[in-house]
Chain A
Amino acid sequence: MDQATLTRSLLYLDGINVTFDGYKALRGLSLTLEPGEMRAIIGPNGAGKTTMMDVITGKTRPDEGDVYFGGSQDLTQLDEATIAELGIGRKFQKPTVFESHTVEDNILLALKAPRKAIATLFGRAAADQQSRIDRILETVRLSDHRDRFAADLSHGQKQWLEIGMLLAQDPKLLLVDEPVAGMTDSETAQTALLLKAIAEDHSVIVVEHDMDFVRELGVKVTVLHEGSVLAEGPLEAVSADPRVVEVYLGR
């Protein structure tokens, strides 16, 4: 373990192995994220991108390897709720929102506030709660839909709602899995703008297949392949890397 890198990093993954029924989904994956950094992750289908997020958020326990957050928290020992409370938020590849709640209630549930059962049962709402919800709905442009059931939203709107929930959580680190899948070009561009705005005061990891979108973000790119890092650097550099070309075009 590289102590210096560890203490400097916000997120530190080292030598992660994950096996499903004999299939190695992650093989010795290592990756570090600096505080305040935005990172794009690309890689062909099945490269292990989602699995990596599962490991970070406590859904999947690695067979081997270290996962540290903020230089000291060992994430492999914590459960999902604790990790979320530490300040790691996640948007899923398939949009998952609370279908039988209204758009507004979805944001309300995600809003940063005490999470204990006692608090939600007897606690009073924070004074600025409504204004925060309004602001977030504004940002993800769902103000007009606030009273609709999330189940009735379109696919793209659900994506936005999930991003809104992520904002409401106000995490230190955002893990965003394929945020623009199923969006139109203009929506994609707007999402890129939004993410860049978020990245100003948050750390972000974005997984995306859409190269234009990744180019738009203009950040350091990590290429995953078969469960480990194949290349890392600016998009121009990695897309010139013959191994990356091979992985993407050779099949």
Chain B
Amino acid sequence: MSQLLTRVDRRAHIAILLLIAIAVLVPVLALATPPRSLFHLPPYLVALFGKYLCFALLAVALDLVWGYCGILSLGHGAFFALGGYCMGMYLMRQIGTRGVYADPILPDFMVFLNMKALPVTWWGFNHFPYALLMIVLVPGVLAFAFGWFAFRSRVTGVYLSIITQAMTYALLLAFFRNDMGFGGNNGLTDFKDILGFNVQSDATRAALFAITAIVLAATLLIAQLIVTSKFGKVLIAIRDAESRTRFIGYRVENYKLAVFTLSAVLAGIAGALYVPQVGIINPSEFAPTNSIEAVIWVAIGGRGTLVGGALGAVLVNWGKTYFTGALPEYWLFALGLLFILVTLFLPQGIVGLVSRRRTIPEAPRGGDVEEGKVDSADVPAAAR
């Protein structure tokens, strides 16, 4: 055990301890302090930061595949959204007769669409354990199936990025359709309670926040152990020189598949935690822009550092909340500029600024590119 813990670096130690601390502190400050007190946390802030932590979890998941294995997924928003929909379906079925149409089984939108019976896809979602299972399985199986095809036929680099983007785009279109049975355009909302607790209540909010913080801490710990294991070293080897890794006998596709699936499951969990805290899930979560935005959180925080992704997610979203409140016109300018400046001047991200250890190799500039390295630069003329 102690030997395992030595593999967790200082950054991750700090982050994990911090998360555990706020998991305890935030509910205390939100619930046990009088509203007037200086230390009191208003409930809306709890929900807001709970949301940020979900994004942080998504960013950690993304960093695992992109930062360590060089797979730039532009479709992680899809896994996030699928996890969210699974949770949303559980929450919908908890509404029961409290809906507008008071149908004990069918959610309101189904009654509205004149559906007679519950679609098969919704069966079992009234049981929380089943919903939990689906939160893991649905994104996991999709990622596995997708990766099985893609990695086996060696789709790499930007090609992979583009087809992941196409994947989430296809899902976006599909979920917009009413006859998919997932609420179409409006998605799922008006949730009442989760495991018998009112989702809107301050106590539930605080509890969800604490759970999210703990899950994030646990994820950071596990991810840190993975990337420092020999498995993690192989991932980094694949990122640096994919074909070289093959030539010393590693089945690159299996490694990629494993880490991609794991990452998708984590993204799904993040989505599932997100939905009860924001109270809605709709198809716009599948929008390709969302997935790309998640990538930029990781890039800003520091690719290949795990903690950096989480940090980037919180900072960028904090900025977004501020900007869209104060200067809505300028948020996209700011975000766009951030994309450009970070990729041009801060390739190691914020964490890379403060740590001396290189996290990702300097990319070759101009001149020749060494064999293997070009793997990630999988475009004809770009291989300069």
Contact = CB atoms under 8 A, between A and B. Distances in A.
A84 B247 contact: yes
A188 to B, nearest CB: 22
B233 A108 contact: yes
A132 to B, nearest CB: 14
B361 A100 contact: yes
B371 A100 contact: no
B244 A96 contact: yes
A94 B361 CA distance: 18
Interface in B233-278: 233-234, 236-237, 239-241, 243-252, 254-255, 258
Contacts of A123: 230
Contacts of B247: 57, 59, 80, 84, 89-90
A117 B255 contact: yes
B248 A89 contact: yes
Contact of A85 (B231, B249, B361): B249
Interface centre among A80, A110, A123 (most CB of B within 10 A): A80
B251 A98 contact: no
Interface in A133-162: 149, 151
A94 B371 contact: yes
B255 A80 contact: no
A117 B231 contact: yes
Contact of A59 (B240, B243, B250, B258): B243
Contact of B358 (A94, A125, A149): A149
B279 interface: no
A76 interface: no
B229 A117 contact: no
Contacts of B246: 79-81, 84
A195 B375 CA distance: 30
**Chain A interface residue count: which class?**
20 to 34
Contact of B250 (A57, A81, A93, A105): A81
A98 B250 contact: no
Contacts of A203: none
Contacts of B361: 99-100, 151
A213 interface: no
Contacts of A165: 248
Interface in A168-227: 169
Contacts of A101: 233, 236-237, 240
Nearest to A149: B358
B370 A120 contact: no
Given A81-B246, A84-B246, A117 B254 contact: yes
B254 to A, nearest CB: 5
A100 to B, nearest CB: 5
B229 to A, nearest CB: 6
B248 A92 contact: no
A121 B249 contact: no
A196 B230 CA distance: 32
Nearest to A99: B361
A151 B359 CA distance: 12
B361 to A, nearest CB: 5
Given A84-B246, A165-B248, A100 B236 contact: yes
Contacts of B184: none
Interface string A65-90: 00000000000000111001100011
A169 B249 CA distance: 9
B286 to A, nearest CB: 29
A80 B244 CA distance: 10
A115 interface: yes
Contact of B371 (A57, A92, A115): A92
B338 interface: no
A80 B370 CA distance: 19
B258 A117 contact: yes
Contact of B226 (A57, A89, A121, A125): A121
Contacts of A93: 371
B342 interface: no
Given A96-B370, A99-B240, A108 B230 contact: yes
A57 B370 CA distance: 19
Nearest to B154: A79
Nearest to A151: B361
Interface in A45-67: 57, 59
A59 B247 CA distance: 9
Contacts of B234: 109, 117, 120
B220 to A, nearest CB: 17
Given A108-B233, A109-B233, A120-B230, A100 B249 contact: no
B360 interface: yes
A98 B361 CA distance: 10
Given A92-B371, A120-B234, A149-B358, A98 B244 contact: yes
B372 interface: yes
Nearest to B252: A81
A121 B358 contact: no
A99 B360 CA distance: 9
Contacts of A98: 236-237, 240-241, 244-245
Interface of B: 226, 229-231, 233-234, 236-237, 239-241, 243-252, 254-255, 258, 358-362, 370-373
List 3 tightest A-B contacts by C-beta distance, closest first.
A84-B249, A121-B231, A80-B246
Interface of A: 57, 59, 79-81, 84-85, 89-90, 92-101, 105, 108-110, 115-117, 120-121, 123, 125, 149, 151, 165, 169
15 contacts: A89-B248, A92-B371, A98-B240, A98-B244, A99-B361, A100-B358, A105-B233, A115-B250, A117-B254, A117-B258, A120-B230, A120-B233, A120-B234, A121-B258, A125-B230
